[in-house]
Structure 1
Amino acid sequence: MRKIYTSVDLPNDAGRLVIFEWGSGSKPEKNLVCFEPDGRVRWKAKLPTSDAGDCFVGVALEGDLIRANSMSSYSVWLDPRTGDAV
């Protein structure tokens, strides 16, 4: 099991965003996961690139959106319901 790097609660007990620690692999890692309040996975965020070793390293709530930062210096804004980039 991977360790949690950071997590953020969604407003109104709507769930939790979790960034899991990343490895040193040669493939991008979908390490940003949104969990339902009961612990089920709602979605896993897609990275903005397919760069080897890319992963998410930061997450924050900004208004009604989620801002996620990747190791390759991209910031993406995500819909909290779907995890899709907006």
Structure 2
Amino acid sequence: MLKAVIFGALGLLGLAIIATSSAQAAVVCNGAGDCWRVKKQHTYPDAARVHIYGDDWAWDEAEADRYRWRDPGEGRGYYDGSGVWITF
């Protein structure tokens, strides 16, 4: 009985960890309208000039010509205004 309680508690703890880590996902956009999804929020350098939104954020239909989705580059980084991935 005690083992079942311990395993149940560990299972709930594991689910809580998974739920917490997925809540860290976000959408990041720069001033040029490049947006990408990240699995983990980072602290970006001031030079990045990015905006961080919740992972369910999407632009309004009226803003469709302002924004575009990009695949995130390799490693921790951001798109500069010219579409180049800058790592930091």
Judge same fold: TM > 0.5, yes or no.
no
The structure with the largest helix share of the pair is 2
Q: Please tell me the TM-score bracket, short chain as reference.
A: under 0.3
TM-score w.r.t. length of structure 1: 0.27
